[in-house]
Amino acid sequence: MFIQPIDYVLVGWFILAVASTAYVGWDQFQNNPEPTVMKWGFILVTLYMGPLGLLLYVLADKEPRPGEHEQFIEPLWKQGVGSTIHCVAGDATGIILAAAVTAAIGLPMWIDLIVEYVAGFAFGLLIFQSLFMKSMMGGTYVENVRRSFLPEFISMNFMMGGMAPTMAFLMMGRDMRAMEPTELLFWGVMSFGVIAGFVVAYPSNVWMVARRLKHGLMTERTRAHSAAVHEGHDVRHGQPQTGVHAHSQHGIASDATRPQRAAVAGVSALALVLGMVAPANWLNLRLSAREVGGAIMPPGMIMDRNTPAAAMLDMAAVDPRDVVARFGLDTRGDRDLPARLEGDVRVFDLDTSVIRWTILPGITVDAYAFNGQIPGPRLRFRQGDRVRINVTNHLPETTTVHWHGLVLPNVMDGPAHITQAPIENGQRYRYEFTATQSGTYFYHSHDHVDRQQALGLYGAMLIEPREVDPGLQADHEYTLLLQEWLLREGLTYPAMPMEGAMPNYFTINGRAYPSTDTIRMRVGETLKVRFIGSNNGFIHPMHIHGGPFQVVAKDGQTLQPSARYFADTVNVGPGERYDVIWRALRPGKWLIHCHIGHHATNNNVETEGGGGLMMVIAVAE
């Protein structure tokens, strides 16, 4: 539950709301001489509006000293508060109940708003206004409904005019946990919506009270109560005494003219329509809580009225509550996965899950991982081997695995929905093929690739040739898998070349410089570097200092000696592999790094001379 600072703020808010409500409830029934329906009105509204409800109660309604309630509540602004409280208590209860139910059912947001309006109006008019007030106002239930209709219509319209856009924008903003009634944020948004609704509905309530279209606050003293009030004036024993000045018990004689009523009602309807319709200009109100509820979007992502649910889910943060294991800097990725022999088949088991992975001291990402490592474990086998890989999915979404660059049966190739049904959570898929090629390959997710591979679902696959070519040998070897990350406000998003999804961290084998490996060798020795383009949406011109390297293989294919060439930079694009051989000519610290400056920083910060896609070759004499 606690994954963002707002969650802690909300806990504080709701503790205050409950404490405020407890106080108001206690004081209402202990000390305050007013009709029961108003007591409950204030209690409900304080629950929704927290300390603000308490403030209104103390300033406008709480009897300051015994016997003074009648006089205290007289000012019009207080009567207006009472009238609005009354409306909000009924309407907001209906709206909130409807919001929780519609979210659970999974109705589109625009239907949610309409249902909420109808429910709020119905609850306010038919139950709170007409039923609960009946005993006070006298008359039959139907008469009360008829009499309350216009004031209720006006007040509800203004209230929804304020509450609807507040709910829409906050529920469908960046943190769409606000759409889920199981999240504290949902209730926070409801609270905020009620406050906005109260503010918008208040002026019309002041007018209606002044024109005696609506009741404001009232005093009602019973025998038991008045007995305790020694100095109480205007107390008639045994009979409920309601109303100050013109608020008589039976109905209210209003002096509002027809044009005045029509004008206010018309403007209230306009406010309602505006509040309900305007958000549709910016938000995709066709979406439901079931589709996108719970998703948290990256800051800066462009979300407009046409952004589909699938686009949002693709770019959403990894839910930190899905993390099943945490790893520090002592755990490496790209570890050799020993094969198990079943007959003459080499069997590997790959399990996907959500982990927390450390890329720098104190900097962790929430990642999708094979076997709890970033990159996934290194698969090593020989040309001609029969290989079986059991992939079990423990992600909160489906996945598949593609064996990049391999010649194999189509059904083993991995693309979701194209050669196979995606692997559901808890399910396993058995990939099996014979390795006909050799060289540097890799495997990666092929279901929502832009999301899953960008979150860590990839690993090296090195296939040893049947016959070793001495020209491709080196004294040392290093395999280098690249990745971009987007880490904001403690949440990890898949980095993409899209607005709001640009990466701010970069890793070689799951670590950013200065936490990357250091390669140690001596002058005169050779180093074979296998660059693997496991990076998902960005090209990295990988450069080695201290002299050129020879490119000896590309995408697993050994270059003919005449095709091998010298360079000091290779553009490692997504999916590409380069095997290069570098000779240490001089002693010292020589860098391997991406030549896009930003990719050699950590969140735009240089530490110890760089960051991100950078590592050191330490060459001794």
Q: Is 599 in the site for Cu ion (CB under 5 A)?
A: yes
405, two tokens = 């660059």
**Would you give the distance in Å from CA 153 to the centre of its chain?**
36
CB of 382 to Cu ion, least distance (A): 33
Stretch that binds Cu ion, among 100-108, 110-118, 532-540, 571-579 (CB under 5 A): 532-540
Nearer to Cu ion, 221 or 599 (CB): 599
CB of 522 to Cu ion, least distance (A): 29
CA 492, 493, 499, 503 torsion: positive or negative?
Answer: positive
Nearest CA-CA partner of 195 in 152, 159, 249, 154? 159
CB of 386 to Cu ion, least distance (A): 37
Stretch that binds Cu ion, among 98-106, 122-130, 329-337, 539-547 (CB under 5 A): 539-547
Q: Is 530 in the site for Cu ion (CB under 5 A)?
A: no
Nearer to Cu ion, 144 or 602 (CB): 602
Nearer to Cu ion, 414 or 494 (CB): 494
Give, in order, the Cα–Cα distances in Å from 235 to each of 136, 137, 243, 352: 17, 19, 12, 75
Interface pick for Cu ion out of 540, 543, 554, 593 (rule CB under 5 A): 540
Nearer to Cu ion, 199 or 539 (CB): 539
Per CB under 5 A, contacts with Cu ion among 29-58 are none
Nearer to Cu ion, 107 or 539 (CB): 539
Nearer to Cu ion, 519 or 592 (CB): 592
Q: Is 267 in the site for Cu ion (CB under 5 A)?
A: no
State how far the Cα of 8 lies from the Cα of 17, in Å rounded to an integer: 14
Nearer to Cu ion, 201 or 542 (CB): 542
CB of 603 to Cu ion, least distance (A): 15
Nearer to Cu ion, 356 or 599 (CB): 599
Interface pick for Cu ion out of 98, 594, 615, 617 (rule CB under 5 A): 594
CB of 474 to Cu ion, least distance (A): 24
Stretch that binds Cu ion, among 85-93, 358-366, 515-523, 599-607 (CB under 5 A): 599-607
Stretch that binds Cu ion, among 118-126, 137-145, 315-323, 589-597 (CB under 5 A): 589-597
In terms of DSSP H, where are the helices of 243-394? 258-277, 289-292, 309-315
State how far the Cα of 120 lies from the Cα of 587, in Å rounded to an integer: 78
Nearer to Cu ion, 596 or 618 (CB): 596
Residue 613 in contact with residue 540, Cβ under 8 Å?
Answer: yes
235, two tokens = 């107390």
Nearest CA-CA partner of 472 in 385, 570, 549? 549
Nearest CA-CA partner of 404 in 450, 437, 451, 369? 437
39, two tokens = 């007591």
CB of 512 to Cu ion, least distance (A): 12
Please work out the total of residues on this chain that contact Cu ion, with binding judged by CB under 5 A. 4
Number of continuous H segments (helices) and E segments (strands) in the chain: 14, 23
- Give the full edge-to-edge strand order of the sheet including 439-445: 376-382, 458-464, 439-445, 401-404
Q: Is 177 in the site for Cu ion (CB under 5 A)?
A: no
CB of 489 to Cu ion, least distance (A): 24
Stretch that binds Cu ion, among 354-362, 391-399, 458-466, 537-545 (CB under 5 A): 537-545
Residue 157 in contact with residue 268, Cβ under 8 Å?
Answer: yes
CB of 540 to Cu ion, least distance (A): 3
Nearest CA-CA partner of 506 in 370, 597, 371, 578? 597
State how far the Cα of 27 lies from the Cα of 246, in Å rounded to an integer: 26
Nearest CA-CA partner of 88 in 51, 140, 124, 50? 124
CB of 504 to Cu ion, least distance (A): 13
Stretch that binds Cu ion, among 97-105, 197-205, 276-284, 593-601 (CB under 5 A): 593-601
Nearer to Cu ion, 12 or 573 (CB): 573
Nearer to Cu ion, 16 or 596 (CB): 596
419, two tokens = 């050669």
Q: Which are the contacts of 158, defined by CB distance < 8 A and separation ≥ 6?
A: 197, 200, 201, 203, 204, 268, 271, 272
Most distant CA atoms of the chain, gap in Å:
113
CB of 486 to Cu ion, least distance (A): 15
CB of 541 to Cu ion, least distance (A): 7
Nearer to Cu ion, 540 or 554 (CB): 540
CB of 428 to Cu ion, least distance (A): 36
Residues 488-527, mask of contacts with Cu ion (x by CB under 5 A) = ----------------------------------------
Nearer to Cu ion, 529 or 594 (CB): 594
CB of 503 to Cu ion, least distance (A): 9
496-501 own/partner pairs: CB under 8 Å, 24+ apart: 496/315, 496/450, 496/454, 496/536, 496/537, 497/537, 497/538, 498/301, 498/315, 499/300, 499/301, 499/302, 500/297, 500/298, 500/299, 500/300, 500/301, 500/302, 500/315, 501/298, 501/301, 501/315
CB of 607 to Cu ion, least distance (A): 17
Residue 613 in contact with residue 586, Cβ under 8 Å?
Answer: no
Stretch that binds Cu ion, among 11-19, 84-92, 204-212, 533-541 (CB under 5 A): 533-541
Residue 54 in contact with residue 239, Cβ under 8 Å?
Answer: no
Q: Which are the contacts of 188, defined by CB distance < 8 A and separation ≥ 6?
A: 6, 10, 13, 14, 178
Per CB under 5 A, contacts with Cu ion among 346-405 are none
CB of 507 to Cu ion, least distance (A): 11
- Cβ neighbours of 187 (radius 10 Å): 19
Per CB under 5 A, contacts with Cu ion among 283-322 are none
Q: Which are the contacts of 127, defined by CB distance < 8 A and separation ≥ 6?
A: 90
Nearer to Cu ion, 319 or 517 (CB): 517
Per CB under 5 A, contacts with Cu ion among 426-465 are none
Task: Tell me the β-bridge partners of 391.
Answer: 350, 429
Q: Is 596 in the site for Cu ion (CB under 5 A)?
A: yes
Nearer to Cu ion, 455 or 594 (CB): 594
Residue 534 in contact with residue 483, Cβ under 8 Å?
Answer: yes
Where do contacts with Cu ion occur on this chain (CB under 5 A)?
540, 594, 596, 599
